[in-house]
Each structure stands twice: as structure tokens, then as C-alpha cells.
Structure 1
């Protein structure tokens, strides 16, 4: 058995707001694992040097957050297919030979959260409607496509970003103007808000949900507040609504397993750690 204590962490700038250290420390304590998870504020100019130094310091991997998720791809030695497709990485694994492997677990986190919050969710039940076309939307679109959703409708305030998704993901992406977002929801079996609309301190979510089917599964990636106006109205219309906190939890689990050797449980105790923070 090695005497080395595995180190992991999260890099970004700023980083003090990150809840990831609380979650990983909870799992480390829960499973009695000798290890540490450390938040590190790293400037863009220092990114390459820090990435080279961390494996030599005993780090087995790190999470990556804003503003480094895209840049990190060019610094890694190898990149997973899904990270390349999404265009960003949030999880790095430092191999024994010092090589850096970059992956993106956001899509995994989204799907696992959806399946946990809506156990009967069927990706083949009908089209999906995705509001937004940013980095989070790319992960969601990639994951929905991989799960077998045959038509993914995308609407974004800047149409060109939605068109870029269609160019990369192919004809199953159907782009709608933002003014048509309400109509896009009609007949959708899965509806996802990937924008910051409805988040504390951001603009309100004002897309009308009149066309929303009561059979739809609705998810909001926003988790502050936990119960957004979008989810509240969806529930009132009879939909199964899935909040965004679970995605944060589930996207963290694969990294923890790779770094510390145990797949952590995403349960109420884990949710409570973040809700109480």
C-alpha cells in the first residue's frame, strides 16, 4: 500500500465561491479516505506552469472551472471524445507517467440527475427543447444526443450560437429564434433551461410555458434558487421537474472515483452538504 496521500482540487479564478471542496471533503470523510481536495485560484497566465507542477506535488487530478475549461484542452496530453465534442473539460486525471488526461463529466452529471429526479424518463419519448446555447447547453445537447433523443430543438438569444451547435451536432438539432422559444416547447418530451435566466441576481425567466405538455420532464440547470420560477410553473402544469443541484453532485462523482478509488453516493446527505453551505 502506498504511503502517499492523494491530492485533488479545483482550479479557477475566482474560486472562493466553489462548493466542490465541501462536497469532496464530505465524501472523503464519509468513506474514511486519506486524501485532500483543495481550491486553488490560478490566473490564466500561470495555468500551464501550474498544470506541469501539480502531478509532481502529489496531485492525482483536479476539477477545472471558469475561466479555464476551454483553454485546458490545448494543455492536456490527451482529451476524451466527449470533452472534444463539448469543447471544454471540467475533470483532469494525472497519470502515473505525468501525462494529463482531460474529460468532461457535465453531460454525465446532467443525465444522471435527470434519471434520479425523473426515474421514468425516456429519451425516445419525443423531442427535447433546450433553452440556451452556451457551454452548459453543449454538454446537455451532446448527452441528449448520446442517449438517443432524435430531435433536439435549440433556442438562444443570439441565434448564431444555436446555429453553431447545429453545425457541429448535425441535422437532429433544429434551431428556433428566441421569440419562438415558447412555441418550440410544444410537443417536447424533455425541456431544459441551460441559461442563467431565473438565477439569483440575473434576469427573470419569461418564456411562456403555455405549450408545455404535462407529460414532459423539465430540468433547470440553475440551482440558486433551488426552486426556480421555471420549475415551479412546470410542476403546476403537472410536469416532473428536476432541479439543477443534482447535476453539480453527479458531475463530481466520476472524478472522485478516479482520484480516490471509490464511487461516491449522490444522496440526500450529499445534497444537504451543499444546501447548508
Structure 2
């Protein structure tokens, strides 16, 4: 049995992270009583020192903002998936001492959508153009057979999204944020914006919308997700993404199958406790 039994999530800010809840629930269900999963407040300046000081007991790391790109120069290699968006959210420490980076956000998005019956769409819309939007485009490279319209606020963001589209092989069309009402008629809408950014769009939800994937999980539901659900349409939330990407992390770090349902229930319970 390997002596590796430690893992953690790093980022700044990190206090809000649900990752410890999900990973610890998995360890408990899997009988990994010696395993621990913690959270550490680490910024870009502190990251090299933190990684350098890790000993052989470490199995892996989860990374959130602002570290997903900063970690790359500190690794021995990264997966094609991580390279496609220049972002690593998972580091696994191998038995021979290598540090390998991966991105489980992208397959996590695909898995969350497929779980809700979204396997292929002919077109899609992405609201926003930040780091999560590039992961959304990478997921859509697998799921969308036609154009993806990105609704953005600035010319610089438009250029970024065009660049990601070219890199990922996705036909990205650009539209101004002022036209975002039109996004809601797409078969699949992925909202990657901060809390409150899409609230004004809630009144524009069509009578029979497609599927909404809103990457937020707190507060939940967003105004847009609430109205979408009222219309009787499919809604995938940020907790779905968080759970699916965490399942993949647990499996990579432990080498065992992770308990999806148990992890989701733990996340739901933690969010319910926070809201009271």
C-alpha cells in the first residue's frame, strides 16, 4: 500500500470551497480512514514554496483561482486536456515522484450535461468570457456540432473567445452582451458569469427553453436558473460540475472508483446548511 494519503485544495480566497466536503465524504464512503483532505489559502506568490515543501505523503492537489495557470511551470507534465485551455485544476503525485497536471473541469462539464441527457446539440450559447468560458468551449468541442455564440462585454474578451475557438476547433461567433436575451433561445446555454450578472435576463426566458448550465452553486438557484426551471426545462448547476470534476480528482488521486451519489449528497447538505 502506498504511503500517499494527503490531499488538499489550494487557492485564494479558499474559505468558501466545498472541495473538502466532497473529498472527505468520498474517503469516508471508500473506507480510506487514513486519508485527509484540507484547504490552504495560497496565492500565486506563495505557490512555488508550498509545492516545494510537500513530502512523499502527498497524493494530489486541487487548484482553484488564481492558481490554475500558475501551477503549470511547477509540474513535470500536463495532460492534453489541461494544455488545451492552459489551465490545471488537478495535480497527481506519482509513485516515482513526478507531478502531473490535469483539468477535470472539462470532462466534468461533459459528464454533468450527459447525466441530464444532453449528449449532442446543434448550437449553443456561452454567457461570459472568463476562465470558465474557455473550459465551456472545450466541453462544447465534444458536444456541439455547430456554432457557439459567445456573449461578451468587451472587444478584448471577444478576441480571447475567438482565439480559444480556433485553438479548440469550435466555430465561435461573437455577440455583444446587450444582445444576451437572444442567447436564451439556444438549445444549450452555458452561463459562466459571476453571481448576479445574469439576473436581468430572467424575464427574457422563452416559453420552451432548451437546457441551461449555470456554473454557479452559491447562491442557488440563480434568478435565471429559477425562471428556467419554472419553464419546465432542464437546468444543470454548479454543484453538478463541482461533484463531477471532484469524482475524477478522487479517482486520479486514489486509483479507486469514487461514490458520485454520496459526494453529491454531501455537497447538497453543506449548501443547505450554509443557507440557514
The alignment partner of 2:260 has SS state of coil
Offset, 1:224: 1.3
Say which of 118, 135, 140 aligns to 1:144.
Answer: 140
Q: Distance in 1 between matches of 2:198 and 2:144?
A: 32
Matched, 1:45 2:42: no
Within a 5 Å distance, the mapping from 1:182-201 to structure 2 comes to: 182-186=181-185, 188-198=186-196
Offset, 1:140: 0.9
Q: Distance in 1 between matches of 2:145 and 2:208?
A: 19
Tell me, yes or no, if the aligned pair for 2:183 and 2:189 is still in contact at 8 Å. no
Which residue does the alignment assign to 1:269? 265
The two structures have a TM-score, normalised by structure 1, of 0.88
Q: Distance in 1 between matches of 2:202 and 2:31?
A: 48
Offset, 1:226: 1.8
Which residue does the alignment assign to 1:154? 150
The two structures have a TM-score, normalised by structure 2, of 0.88
Tell me, yes or no, if the aligned pair for 1:12 and 1:66 is still in contact at 8 Å. yes
Cα distance change of structure 1 residues 159 and 211 upon mapping to structure 2, 3 Å threshold = farther
Which residue does the alignment assign to 1:28? 27
Cα distance change of structure 1 residues 100 and 204 upon mapping to structure 2, 3 Å threshold = same
Runs of 4 or more consecutive aligned structure 1 residues displaced over 6 Å after TM superposition: none
The alignment partner of 2:17 has SS state of coil
Q: CA RMSD in A?
A: 2.1
Q: Which moves more between the two structures, 158-167 or 139-148? A: 158-167
Offset, 1:57: 4.0
Q: Distance in 1 between matches of 2:16 and 2:226?
A: 26
Offset, 1:212: 3.7
Structure 1: segments with no counterpart, 5+ residues: none
Structure 2: segments with no counterpart, 5+ residues: none
Q: Distance in 2 between matches of 1:132 and 1:108?
A: 20
